[in-house]
Chains A and B, each alone.
Chain A
Amino acid sequence: MATYHELSGFLAEVERRAFKQALYALHDRDLALDIVQETMLRLTEKYASRPLEELPLLFQRILQNAIRDHYRRQKVRSLWTTPLATLFPGHAEEETDPMETLVAADNSNMAGNPGDQLQQAQVIGLIEQALGTLPARQREAFLLRYWENMDVAETAAVMGCSEGSVKTHCSRATHALAGMLRKKGITL
Chain B
Amino acid sequence: MNEQDLAQKIGRRLDQDAANLDATTLSRLKALREEALAKYPATQAAYGLAANGGKLSHHHGRFGGMRLWAPLLALLLGLAAVMYWQATPRNVDNGSDIDSELLADDLPVHAYTNYIIEGWIRHASQ
Contact = CB atoms under 8 A, between A and B. Distances in A.
Interface of A: 1, 4, 7-8, 11-12, 15-17, 19-20, 29, 33, 36-37, 40-41, 43-46, 48-49, 120, 123-124, 127-128, 142-143, 145-147, 149, 170-171, 174-175, 177-178, 188
Interface string B26-41: 1011001101110111
A130 to B, nearest CB: 9
Interface string B106-118: 0000000000000
B7 A145 contact: yes
Nearest to A29: B25
B21 A16 contact: yes
B10 A48 contact: no
A36 B11 CA distance: 20
B8 interface: yes
B1 to A, nearest CB: 8
A12 B11 contact: no
Contacts of B13: 120, 123-124, 127, 188
A44 B40 contact: yes
B100 interface: no
Most chain A CB within 10 A, of B7, B10, B11, B51, is at B10
B29 to A, nearest CB: 5
B91 to A, nearest CB: 53
A28 to B, nearest CB: 13
Contact of B21 (A1, A19, A188): A19
Contacts of B33: 8, 11-12, 15, 40
Contact of A40 (B26, B32, B47): B32
Interface residues of B, number: 34
B16 interface: yes
Contact of A146 (B7, B41, B42, B51): B7
Contacts of A17: 14-15, 18
A4 B21 CA distance: 25
Contacts of B8: 146
B14 A45 contact: no
Contacts of B57: none
B97 interface: no
25 contacts: A1-B51, A7-B40, A11-B36, A12-B33, A16-B18, A16-B29, A17-B14, A19-B21, A20-B17, A20-B18, A40-B32, A40-B35, A43-B36, A45-B42, A46-B43, A49-B47, A49-B58, A123-B13, A124-B16, A127-B13, A128-B17, A146-B10, A147-B14, A147-B15, A177-B10
Given A1-B51, A145-B7, 15 more contacts: A4-B37, A12-B33, A16-B18, A20-B18, A29-B25, A33-B32, A40-B33, A40-B35, A120-B13, A124-B16, A127-B13, A171-B3, A174-B6, A174-B7, A175-B3
Contacts of B17: 20, 124, 127-128
B87 interface: no
